[in-house]
Amino acid sequence: MKNYDIAAFVWPSYTGDEPRSRMFWQEGFGEWQSVKNATSKFPGHNWPRKPLWGYVNEADPYVMEMEIDAAVDHGVNVFIYDWYWYDRRPFLENCLNDGFLKAKNNGKMKFYIMWANHDAVHLWNKNLSDSDVGDTVIWQGGIDANGFKIMYERLANKYFTKENYYKINDCPVFMIYELSTFIDGMGGIDEAARALENFRKYVVSMGFKDLHLQFTGRVNNIVNLSGVDGNTVENQDEVMKKLGVDSFTHYQFVHFVNIDRDYNEIIKDVKAEWEKIDRESSIPYFPHISCGWDNNPRFYGFRPGIVKNNTPDNLEKALREAKAYVDTHDLPAPLITVNSWNEWTETSYLEPDDLYGYGYLEAIKRVFKNG
């Protein structure tokens, strides 16, 4: 049976071990605070949901040993860690550093880094997320070339050197979340391309074959960057070629389709987007599947936009579509990304809950381990 790399994004906030997180989650166990205190917003709303494993500290290596075993047993063999760099230093690294990397069984699975380079606002603080200051920027996600150099040298030495860091064609994979934010921080497309080329050279100087640079996509044709550096760039594909991107995927269905409807209808549009990518993009695309979307646990007021009917059976159908995509495309790796392992406050997770139990993980297992 063919092997696939099923890579689930990890939102590393379910720990109170990061001191700066207390400004958002005062109870001291990370964003579990918002999950625990979530309430139903209307009749039939499937909240509150409870994690079957409890409100565990995912920066605890013993917890992560249990989670790694569960992931691998069901076919999830890669974790993509959301990774943050704010105010010239990392944020929420504890889940990866103290949990995953100290787990005795972490060699069972690979991991890689997605630099979540978006601005930090008060979205994470439920006491302020509904208010007029909810969108106030606390830390900027964009950084300049000098700051980027400091960041990537630290990151490459700390993570790329791990035996279980995920590589494609012997090149460590590094993903950047927001294309436009990265370019703005660098001061323009040319400067961004130069900074990434310097990153590649540094990785090669470490003894690696090269860097595999990956971006998360939004809608195709997302940018017109004429205001950034004076040169008009028409679409996402042109930007990625200019920056030397090796591949791209998505992070969440909400970034490129209307999610406020039935899951089966959403998947039809997801497949249409994949077909559009085939026609218009020259960059390899790895298919992405999201489990759902409902951001209401982060707010006291109701937030519209909820995926309906995202049952384990329907997730299985979507996963089979992603598998078929990989099987019919000449990709540099058999990689499928999934949102996510644990995005509880966005209601898009594989971890077992009191609604479907291990249903989502069993769906992964049926598709990728049982044939």
Please write the tens of the pLDDT for every residue from 146-179.
Answer: 999 999 999 999 999 999 999 999 999 999 999 9
Hey, which residues does 121 pair with through a beta bridge? none
pLDDT computed for residue 370 by the predictor? 85
Q: Is the pTM of the predicted complex or chain greater than 0.85?
A: yes
Taking all residues of the chain, what is their mean pLDDT, rounded to a whole number?
Answer: 94
Q: Where are the beta strands (DSSP E) in the chain?
A: 5-10, 78-86, 89-91, 110-115, 167-168, 171-176, 212-217, 247-250, 288-290, 335-339
Which residues neighbour 200 within 8 Å (Cβ) at sequence distance 6 or greater?
A: 210, 211, 213, 244
In the predicted model, is pLDDT for residue 226 greater than 70?
Answer: no
Write the burial class of residue 132 (CB in 10 Å: 0-12 exposed, 13-18 middle, 19+ buried): exposed
Region 59-88: mean pLDDT is: 98
Considering only CA atoms, which of 128, 114, 97, 151 is closest in space to residue 25?
128
Mean pLDDT, residues 335-362: 98
DSSP annotation of 23: G
Superfamily for the 5-368 domain: Glycosidases (3.20.20.80)
pLDDT score, position 234 = 56
Contact 25, 57 (CB under 8 A): no
What integer is the mean pLDDT of 90-116?
98
Report the pLDDT averaged over residues 191-207: 98
Smallest CA-to-CA distance from 316 within 359, 262, 252 is with 359
